[in-house]
Amino acid sequence: MNYILAVSIESQVYRTPNIEFRLNNRLLDIMDLKENHSSEIQSIKKQDIYKLWGLDPDKSCIRAEGSPTMVDVLHSEKWMYFEIDEKSLNDKNSFTVTGKDFHTNYNNGFFSKMDKYKILDVLFLPKNFFMNIRTIFEYCTNKNILADFMWSTEQRPLGLGNGWPMYPALRTSGMTTKRLPIQRLSKDMLDEVIFNDNIWINTDREISIIWDDRLELFRLRNLVPNLENDRPYGIDTDHILLSDFQKYCIENHRKETAKFDQIVVPQPNKNLQPKLNVNADTTYLTIHAPAIILLDKFLKNKYIYED
């Protein structure tokens, strides 16, 4: 089986920098940055995302005052694609992105120009799912896995991670409530307000790709903070045993964010997984719902064309 690894980039070029991509220390490609590549935050109607998944919009797609619920999606101009044969993957893998030959016009303690780049969204999924991501639901049904997209505003207090199949760069990716004043995301705001984790200018990235025994696929490791212990990274949240869903949410994250009896255990969507019969061995996989927007509007056709 082949996998598609897609990485989005934002850059401003001063001279001739390049970015090096490696998998398990094996060179995949060197990208010479010869032009500027921008990104922007787009607001997408939540009902449009439902329709792409083959679902009828529900009441969450309309706000109380009657306006459509909007979802934040990061649209990057530049994506790098890698098609990876599973034979080149180990049980645990490291994908690294490193900036090389970056320059400034530094002189006497001052500079006004510099090469800049950021590594933004990262997606990793089987090639056949890349062409039709909805395949994941039938696949998970056959593996006794409840695949469910829980929106960002619902999953954050429970600490359920980014969701398969991506690391979203945007902190509000999938946000379905009105933004607070600090979340207006003006261009002069700092990276730590706009982006997740440590997405800084000219900062190298290391991404873990692991083998999932239950899913029987390789996937990105889905690490989230363990807020109770104030650790920067917590446990890999994918494949919570569904019968332990409430217990997991209470034990691994701040108890004040949710009470046990207020945590609703997910149930299979009858349109997406009509044949899934939940039992004691059923596990739970979070799906990052806005990923389908990236695939449908920005990535899939471009990859096919370039391929």
Helix (H, G, I), strand (E, B) or coil at 108: coil
Query: How many folded domains does the chain comprise?
Result: 1
Q: What is the mean pLDDT of residues 127-134?
A: 90
Structure confidence by residue, pLDDT tens digits, 76-101: 889 999 999 999 999 999 999 988 87
The CA-atom distances, in angstroms, between 67 and each of 63, 153, 176 are 5, 18, 12
Task: Average the pLDDT over 295-307 and give the result.
Answer: 64
Which range (63-72, 74-83, 212-221, 257-266) has the least confidence?
Answer: 257-266
Residue 142 has pLDDT above 90, yes or no: yes
Average pLDDT (157-181) is 70
pTM for the structure as a whole:
0.85
Helix (H, G, I), strand (E, B) or coil at 200: coil
pLDDT exceeds 50 at position 37: yes
Give the range of the structural domain holding residue 114, as residue numbers without chain letter: 2-306
pLDDT at 227: 47
Per-residue pLDDT at 225: 52
* Residues 194-212: b if buried by 16+ CB within 10 A, e if exposed: bbbbebeeeeebebebbeb
Cβ pair 208, 238 in contact under 8 A = no
218 near 101, Cβ under 8 Å?
Answer: no
Give the pLDDT confidence score for residue 228 in this predicted structure.
47
